[in-house]
Chains A and B, each alone.
Chain A
Amino acid sequence: MLKFKKNNFIKIIKSELMAYLYMPLIFAVCGYMICFLLLTPVLDMLQAMGGMMIADEIPDFNQSLNSIYDPEAAEKNREEAVSIKDITIPAYGTLYAHISCEKIGLDAPVYWGDNNEILKAGVGQYIGSFMPGFEKTILLSGHNTTDFKCLQNIELGDIITVTTNYGIYEYEVEDIQVIHMDTAEAEIGDILGQDKEQLITYTCYPFEKMVGRKVDRYFIFSKKLSGPVVE
């Protein structure tokens, strides 16, 4: 009798373990994995929507606050020089130019600033560099899976165009290098002090590596061919 009761007790424990521990755990893990796989592409959008619902203030959807780029204005100015009075220095996070290279399919907006949010939206410019036309270095960065993915196909001699409201600038690729990010930090820091207008674009390298931290950067150095000088 006692043995029968003990066997029954063991059966109950086993079935309860199955019912209340293992099965819920298995379903929870499976459910999380399925949800994660399905929602990953739209996670950013859902977060933004959720952020709007619990925002401390009413969001401002006025696009003019974060874009001063006017492609028609650039077409009108074909002079060799442009006055500083005709230039608006963009605020951080403002779309102010456009970068393109028809040969490799490069076509992206350029923002002033280069934080993570900006790089998700387009190409970012380091604010310790200068805008085109100031006879100084222009440092642009972009993700190697989106806007700057095509840079892997660029070659020496290719022409990169940067279009701003005050002029259209063309740069010719004269050097391509893969540099460790720590080395690049020092080298680019020195270049930023030079009195020569050059366009430096970079992205993470290698392009196909998706797992693991990327410590190398793919740099493209381009010299100025044409575009108005800012006076």
Chain B
Amino acid sequence: MRLKKALVVSAAVATFLFSTLGAYAATGVSAEEQRILDRLSAGVSLNGTVVQVPAEYYNMAVTELTNNAVDLTTDKVDSIIGNIDAAEAEIATDSSITSLADLKTSDKLNTIISYANTAANTANPNLTSVVDASGNVSIVDKSVGTGSSATASSAGTVAESGSIIKQTGFDLTQSVIVMLSLGTIMTACVFAANKKKLFVSDAEI
């Protein structure tokens, strides 16, 4: 469970860093934006161990860069890559971090997250991170309309760190347990009332 949480947080930080892609007009992936993708492809060095960015987060970055509403200038790309490099350098100051799991328990985690925030706001001041009850982190563009009430809670999501495979079936276990519990309580009440002869009239007592 700790490892899973560590991976979620680490992936969220990675997502945050790699999804710092703002709302500027562009078409497809420009040459400048390709530099970010190349930097992601190179992976992140954790004290000699190169950790590759999970494919799904890379894909989210590509999709956002492809978005017609996104365009990054050279300065902004330099800033984003600079923050990735700075986060990597910060990790190198703690030789005990050699995996994403180590990063979670490290004192460096908050510093890494601050680099991610800086990069995000450099690219788009509307980007913010949202953590749900399960600890999953989403990167949300607050400027996107909420659409229908059904999707309001996730409107503007450009990246997320949750599971790839979702729950796609209904589980009536809880309903069955509730019904059985109610039935048990009712049966117990009737039994107790019967035992105390509460169902008989005063005339019969």
Contacts and interface: CB of A to CB of B under 8 A. Distances in A.
Secondary structure at the A interface, as helix, strand, loop or mixed, is mixed
B55 A25 contact: no
Interface in B78-104: none
Given A84-B28, A84-B66, A192-B55, A65 B166 contact: no
A61 B60 CA distance: 29
Interface stretch (A74-82, A128-136, A168-176): A128-136
A127 B63 contact: yes
A148 B169 CA distance: 10
B60 to A, nearest CB: 5
A142 B168 contact: yes
B60 A17 contact: no
Nearest to A147: B168
> On chain B, which size bracket covers the interface?
35 or more
Interface in B24-59: 27-28, 54-59
A84 B27 contact: yes
Nearest to B65: A89
B145 A30 contact: no
Interface of B: 27-28, 54-60, 62-64, 66-69, 144-151, 153-160, 163-173, 176, 178-179, 182-183, 185-186, 189-190, 192-193, 196-199, 202, 205
11 contacts: A17-B198, A26-B186, A26-B189, A66-B151, A89-B67, A128-B55, A130-B62, A141-B168, A189-B55, A189-B56, A193-B58
